[in-house]
Amino acid sequence: MFWGQEGRIGPQGLGCLFPVVGLGIQEKTLGKALQGAQGGSRQSPCPSLCRCARNPHPSVVLLDKDQLYLLGIIQDCQAARLRGLRTLKYSKEETAKAILDILGHLEYFRDRPLSLALAFEALLQLSFMRPHFSPSVVSAILHRTTEAVLGSAEEDKEGLKRPFQSLLGGLLLEAPNTSTLLQLLTDLRYYALLGSEDQRKLGASSISLLLALSRRFPNLRNTVIRPEQACFRNNLKEDDIIIEEL
C-alpha cells in the first residue's frame, strides 16, 4: 500500500513522542474496507491522482472519487517529505477545507469508516507540512472530525478514536506552543464538560492525551490551564501543571 513507515514525521516517527500519535492507516483495515468501495475519479490539485489514473493499483481502482482524492493528498505529502520538502505545490489550508467539506457529506458514502480513516490520515499528513494551519482552520478541523467520530456507528467509534487522537497530536506538534495547546484544550472543553456521555468521554480522553503530550516539550510544561481542564490529566500529582486561580 502507499502509507508505510516513510509517511511518519521525522526520522523516528511521531510514535516515539507519544504512543497514540504517528499511526498510519493499517493495511488490514483498509483491505477489508476496500471490498465494497466504488470506482471513480475526481479533478484535484494533487498530481499523484493523475498518476493513479494512468497506472491504477488493483486496490486504488476500487476507491470512489473522494477516497481517491484523499489518497492523492496522503501520497503527495509523503512524497514531498521523502524529497526533504515541507511544502506542497497547492494550498495546504484550502486542501484541508476541501477535506472538511467531504466530512460534511459522509452520510452519502457507502464505506464511511474507510472515508473517515483516509480523511484523518490526509489531515494528519497535511499537519506535517508548512505553513502552519491558521487558528480558525485548527478549530474547524477539531470540531468537524470530533462530530464525524461521534456520528459514526457504535461498532466503528472505538476504531476511529485512535486516528482521531493521532490527528489531535499532529495539530499540537505542528506548532507546539502555548497558544496551540490552549486553543485545542478550549475547543475540547465543551465536549468534555457539557456534551452527551459519548462527547464527554471523547473530550476527556483527548484532553488527557494533549496534556500528556505537552509534557514532552519544556516550553509547554508550565502552561497555565483552567481547573476544569486540569482535572482530566492522567497524573493528578503532576507539579509542572499550573492551574489557573478562580
Task: Tell me, yes or no, whether 103 lies in a domain.
Answer: yes
Higher pLDDT: 90 or 59? It is: 90
Q: Report residue 151 as a C-alpha cell.
A: 456520528
**Is residue 25 in some structural domain?**
yes
Which domain, by its residues, includes 72? Answer: 5-130
Write down the pLDDT at residue 6. 34
On whether residue 158 sits in a domain, the answer given is: no
Task: Output the pLDDT for position 153.
Answer: 84
Of 50 and 96, more confident: 96
Residue 132 phi, psi (nearest 5): -65, 150
Note whether residue 162 is domain-resident: no
State the distance between the two ends of the chain, measured CA to CA, in whole angstroms: 52
- All three cell numbers of 56, joined, read 491504477
Q: Write down the residue that cell numbers 496534556 correspond to.
A: 211
Residue 242 forms beta bridges with which residues?
A: 224
Task: Report the distance separating Cα 208 and Cα 203, nearest Å.
Answer: 9
Residue 13 placed within a domain: yes
Q: Is residue 59 part of a domain?
A: yes
Q: What are phi and psi of 180, to 5 degrees?
A: -65, -45
Residue 146 lies in a domain: no
Q: How many residues does the chain have?
A: 246
pLDDT, one tens digit per residue, over 138-187 is: 999 999 999 999 988 888 888 888 899 999 999 999 999 999 999 999 99
Question: Is residue 28 scored above 50 in pLDDT?
Answer: no
Domain tally, the chain: 1
> Does residue 221 belong to any structural domain of this protein?
no
